[in-house]
Amino acid sequence: MKRIIIVCIILFNTILYSQDSFKKNYNFGISKEMLEDVNIRDAKATLELWTKVFTQSFEEVESIKITIYKNVNELINSANNNEVDLVYTSSLIYAMEMDKLNLEPKITSSVNNNKYFDILLCSSSDSKVSNFNELRNKSILIQGGKFKLINELWLDLLCLQIGEKDKNKFFKKIEFTEKPMQAVLPVFFKKTDCCIVNSASLESIAELNPQISKSLKVLFKREKLTSDIVCLRPSLTKKEKDLMMDRAINYKSLHKSEQLFKIFKTNGASVFEASDLDGVKSLWEDYKKMKSRLN
């Protein structure tokens, strides 16, 4: 839930600081993938409560409708029909579908106060594995949640690069975990052969228990990836876009917003740059090339 509070704050503070520049009704969309580790019903109820509190105070804005897209096609149709004003989705989904989406990426979220993160495939520090083929018939745990899509895509690519089309035939056991610690600990205790987690999660784990990270060895790495982005409808007015951008980037100057960020431990955001997508676009292109080569 803490990841989507930034979007509520964007909407709220834009309304708060310039009611006369805004229309009466807004539509806010979220990709289902952003809520993989959250109860969707609870998430939507919480968001609706926030928006109700916000809109009750401002006569100019009557409602903010929240839509959770069940799949990418729903998102594409909604965006292309101008049915949504603001979308919160993953950088990877946007990179995969950018040619079909009538949306402008404007904001990149941070992970552990960093714009970029790496995906790591780790084993215990005494592992003798020197190439990916040596992981055949091994067990692997994969960090899930909102990182499930990108982690699984990378694992598929690693398999394709050695000529293996089906990762489930390559590994003895593949399991996704809700939390990164659930992927790391079994490797630490040598109950599982390897795991996939992102660098930000591993850094957080290391802060709690440095011994865990010291006992792991990074076998493979995919670098400089971005997590989430906020996109706006292109036909919004320049004033609307500028205000949304300003409130997202300068949230610390707003007392209520800063308090919310502290409560939900959100890392914040930065202005989107085209290069923010380079890492995820490269991953997607590499996957497509290898997939077509083996078909």
The secondary element (H helix, E strand) that includes residue 240 is helix 238-249
Residue length, the chain? 295
- Kindly state the tokens that stand for 4: 């989507």
What pLDDT does 10 receive? Answer: 56
- The CA distances from residue 153 to 38, 165, 170, 283, in Å, are 21, 12, 15, 8
* Structure-model confidence comparison of residues 225 and 44, the more confident one: 225
3-state per-residue secondary structure call for 67-94 = EEECCHHHHHHHHHCCCCCEEEEEHHHH
What pLDDT does 144 receive? Answer: 93
The string of DSSP codes covering 26-61 is EEEEEEGGGGTTS-HHHHHHHHHHHHHHHHHT-TT-
pTM: 0.86
1 CB-side CA count, 13 A: 15
Amino acid identity of 259?
A: Q
* Structure-model confidence comparison of residues 98 and 49, the more confident one: 98
- Kindly state the tokens that stand for 244: 């949304």
Whether 21 has a pLDDT exceeding 90, the answer reads: no
**pLDDT-derived band of residue 264, with 50, 70 and 90 as boundaries?**
very low
**pLDDT-derived band of residue 257, with 50, 70 and 90 as boundaries?**
very low
**pLDDT-derived band of residue 28, with 50, 70 and 90 as boundaries?**
confident
CA distance 78 to 85: 10
The partner residues of 288 in beta bridges, in order of sequence, read none
Q: Which residues of 144-167 are buried (b: 16+ CB within 10 A; e: fewer)?
A: bbbbbbbbbbbbbbbbbeeebeeb
Handedness of CA 224, 30, 85, 244 (dihedral sign): negative
pLDDT digits 0-9 by tens, 188-204: 999 999 999 999 999 99
For residues 133, 139, 145, 150, the Cα torsion angle rounded to the nearest 10 degrees is 10
CA distance 123 to 217: 5
CA distance 30 to 43: 11
* Structure-model confidence comparison of residues 161 and 295, the more confident one: 161
Find out whether 125 and 212 touch, Cβ atoms under 8 Å: no
> Which domains can be identified in the chain, with CATH numbers?
5-113+227-279 (3.40.190.10), 117-225 (3.40.190.10)
